Each structure stands twice: as structure tokens, then as C-alpha cells.
Amino acid sequence: MAQTRISGKSLQNPFRIHGTVGGEYFTDRKDELAKFRAILEEPAAKMLVYGHRRMGKSSTLELAVSSVNRTGGHALLADLSTASTFADISNRILSGAARSMGKRWGDLISDWVKMLQGSVSLKPDPLTGALLPSFDVSIRTDTLERQRETLTTVLDSLNSLAKKKKMNVGLVLDEFQEITRFGSESAEWHLRGVIQSHQNVSYIFAGSKEHIIRAMLEKGRAFYRMLDEYHFAPIERQHMAAWIDERLASVSLKPQGAGESCVRLAGPRTRDIVQVARKCVDRSENRGAIAYNEVAAAYVEIIDDMDDSIRTWWNTMTGQQQNVLRAVAGSGTGLTTRDTRRRFSLGGSGTPTNAASSLLKDGHLVRTDNGSGYVFDSPFVRGWVITHALPDMGLALLPTHIASETSEYQSPKAK
Ligand SMILES: Nc1ncnc2c1ncn2[C@@H]1O[C@H](COP(=O)(O)OP(=O)(O)OP(=O)(O)O)[C@@H](O)[C@H]1O
Ligand SMILES: [Mg+2]
């Protein structure tokens, strides 16, 4: 378990929030794991996994990949979140194979490298020392067309190799929508053309930028009707609350409704919930009981920790966007009602909708489940706006106020 220093003592923190998680730090997702595993083992299957950020997609996909490899199959995950060129995608696929398949990769790589005609070499990973294959750095400056050809060769050769060895390889391309940043629509058509003929590779495309993904799937676009779609939903609320309580109890803390309070304040994203729970442990100093007030204090401390970055972001917003953000934080009645427009100086009914659309596009706001309103992507940004930006207009609310809260999400009584 992770060690946290508290007042000179170290306390085991049973929650992790950095990177992907597995083992005791991971809960639930049995249906998703079974589904992803099945796709990774089914020749030529193609699936799209999409959902909001910080839900646990990458962790679940990584676990599905390792479960396939542990039981004699072959699967790999390539993280494309930072890729800037097609060449980077090729490198991520190669290094993903080495990471995911570990020692069993040995035979495959020599054959694969041979097929890639000597342009690939093995370099040690500075963190683990493991040898990772990558293309010569010069391919990043190749023409776009040449880089696409290289990616085609990587994928085609993986398919031929799998065919020759009479096996299937499951390939996860995580944050695949990033190809639209440097490849435009033609990149999507290119990728479609390459993968649709593969009978020995199955593909899972995963992503969290929903508006980009939705656009990629529209009629007339390359991925229209090509992929089975799987919406990656939140972990069930009661399960999450009970798991948090159980983990707190495992380090001898007494969760007096703490799990439920974490879920209420943090909302549906798994990482946000775990982050509040983790902060509760950091602050607990072995005091034993964690009731609603401690959870609220942990939530406020996270908002304070993020003050610099949120303030910098806030200052990049236009006045109109700032008012829309204030309205989403402070009003539960939607942006276009006359009362909200007047109270938050939003102007005519079209103006707040336009500002909200740009905030939606940039991922700062998301639509409510019923599609009729907006909520903050991050519960911590919501708390910051309540604490720091509502006072500008003379409105004082508790940082724990949740404007969108319905009767289903009632606050537990403060103890
Ligand atoms: N099933 C789970 N059980 C417990 N914690 C989880 C689970 N899934 C995710 N988390 C928490 O969420 C964090 C982020 O997980 P992960 O990176 O898998 O999410 P993601 O949806 O891929 O996020 P991103 O949108 O940033 O790519 C983890 O570090 C962990 O704190
Ligand atoms: Mg991810």
C-alpha cells in the first residue's frame, strides 16, 4: 500500500490516484472486464469504448489486456494520449506490445522487427530497464504520407504475423481520437482502410473526448457503423460508497457514512471520488472516525491545493464564460431562464448557450444525464467557482453546495 506521511508518522493510504490502478486499489468493473476480454480474443472484432474522463477506462482496459496475456492469449495496449505524429503511434504500438506481453513477447518481437525491415531498434526504458522497440527518431520528420505508410506496415505486419502463428492479437488504442489533432479526417479513412481487412487482430478504440468521438462516428465519417459501441458508465453509487468505507476500515478508520459523502461531493467520476477519500486518510492523523464534516474539509483542501492552476485557467476565460460558470455553480434552474439570466448577467437567451457550447467543447462543462442542463467536468472546479467567484457578485454559498442536486442526491445530515 502507498505510504503517506502525516505529522511525522506514516499511515498506509488505501487509495491511489496517480496513473492507472489494479489489485486492491481497483474495484468492480466485472462486466466491463468480461466484455473487453471477449473482444480482445475474438478475431476481427472492433469496439469503441467511450465515456467521460477519470472514470477508470484505462485501468479497466489494462486489466483486460493483462488477463488475456495471463491466460495464454495475446493482447497489447498503446496509449496515444500524448502522440503528436503518426510515427508516435507506431512507436506506442511497438512499446505497448513489449510492456503488455512482457517476456512472452520475445519470440514475437524478433519476427515483427524482421518484418519491419531493420528500421526498429531496442532501447532500454529509463524507468524499468526493459528493452523497448522503437523506430529511428528520423521517421518523425518523414512526410505525413510516409508516416502513415509506416503505421500501415506496423498494423499489417502484426496481422500477418498473427495469421502465420495461427493466433489472434487484441490491440487497444487508448485515447485514439488524438489522431484527429494531427491527421484530420483523411487519417480516419486511412486507419479504417487498414484495419477493416484484418482478420487476426481485434481492436478496441477507447477515448474520453466525447464530442470528438461522436463526430468521428457520424454518417459520412470513416468510423460510421464500423465499431460496436460501449459506453463506459460510472460505478454504481452504493458499491463505490461501500468500497470506500471498507478501504477506510482496512486502515482502522471508522467511516461514519464517509463513502456516501465522498460520492455526493465528488460526483460520478471514479478518480474524483477516490481523490476525496485519499485526502480524508491524509488528514485523518489516526483520529478514527470520518464523518461528513471531515469529508467536506478534505474536499475543500483539494480545492485549495488546486487554487493556482484553477485561478490561472479562470483568467483565460472571457467575462461571458465566467458568468456562465458562475451560473452553473450557483443556479439549479438552467441557463436560459429569465431569472438566471438576470441574476448572473447572462444577456439574451442565445448568449449563454453559445458560451456554454465553447465550455462544453473544451471539456470544462458536461451535459447533465438528461441533456437539459450543464454541470462542471470537475467537482473541484465547481467548488472553486463557488468559493472564489460567486462572492464577486455578492453570492455566498458553502463550497459543498451542489446546484444540480436532485432529491436522489440529498446531502447526508451533518453529524
Ligand atoms: N475500478 C476502480 N476502482 C478504484 N479506483 C479506480 C477505478 N478506476 C479508476 N480508479 C481511480 O481513477 C484513477 C484514474 O483511472 P484511469 O486512468 O484508469 O481513468 P481514465 O478513465 O482512463 O482517465 P482519463 O480520462 O484521465 O484517461 C485511478 O488512478 C484511480 O484513482
Ligand atoms: Mg485513460
Per-residue DSSP letter, 122: E
Q: In the CATH hierarchy, which top-level class contains the domain 29-231?
A: alpha beta
Which strand ranges, in their side-by-side order, compose the sheet holding 169-174? Answer: 74-79, 169-174, 201-207, 46-50, 228-231
Task: Choose one of 54, 77, 231, 263 to mutate for the ligand 1 pocket test, by most ligand atoms within 8 angstroms of C-beta.
Answer: 54
CA-to-CA distance for 167 and 111, rounded, in angstroms?
14
pLDDT at 11: 59
How far is the centre of ligand 2, averaged over its atoms, from the C-alpha of 300 (Å)? 26
Q: Which of 39, 154, 54 is nearest to 96 (CA)?
A: 154
Grid coordinates representing 162 are 498473427
Segments making up each domain of the chain, as ranges: 29-231, 236-305, 317-409
Atom 22 (ligand 1): residue with closest C-alpha? 58
CA-to-CA distance for 397 and 393, rounded, in angstroms?
12
Burial (Cβ within 10 Å: 0-12, 13-18, ≥19) of residue 70: exposed
CA-to-CA distance for 293 and 191, rounded, in angstroms?
52
Q: In the CATH hierarchy, which top-level class contains the domain 317-409?
A: mainly alpha
Task: Choose one of 271, 272, 281 to mutate for the ligand 1 pocket test, by most ligand atoms within 8 angstroms of C-beta.
Answer: 271
Query: Which atom of ligand 1 is nearest to 269's Cα?
Result: 12
CA-to-CA distance for 43 and 39, rounded, in angstroms?
8
Sign of the torsion angle spanned by Cα atoms 297, 301, 304, 306? negative
Helix, strand or coil, per DSSP, at residue 303: helix
Atom 25 (ligand 1): residue with closest C-alpha? 53
pLDDT at 46: 96
pLDDT at 197: 93
What is this structure's pTM?
A: 0.92
Sign of the torsion angle spanned by Cα atoms 241, 243, 245, 247? negative
CA angle 174, 105, 120 (to 5 degrees): 75
Grid coordinates representing 189 are 479513412
pLDDT tens string for the chain (415 positions)? 545 444 444 558 999 999 999 999 999 999 999 999 999 999 999 999 999 999 999 999 999 999 999 999 999 999 999 998 888 999 999 989 888 877 777 777 778 878 887 688 888 888 888 788 888 888 888 888 888 889 999 999 999 999 999 999 999 999 998 888 877 788 788 889 999 999 999 999 999 888 888 888 889 998 888 999 999 999 999 999 999 999 999 999 999 999 999 999 999 999 999 999 999 999 997 668 999 999 999 999 999 999 999 999 999 999 999 999 999 999 877 788 888 889 998 887 777 888 899 999 889 999 887 777 899 999 999 999 999 999 999 999 999 999 877 433 333 333 3
Residue by residue, DSSP assigns 135-188 as E-GGGGGS-HHHHHHHHHHHHHHHHHHHHHTT--EEEEEETGGGHHHHHHHHHH
Fold entry, domain 236-305: Helicase, Ruva Protein; domain 3 (1.10.8)
Do 29-231 and 317-409 come out as alike in CATH topology? no
Q: Look at phi and psi of residue 48 and say left if phi exceeds 0, alpha if psi is from -120 to 50, else beta.
A: beta
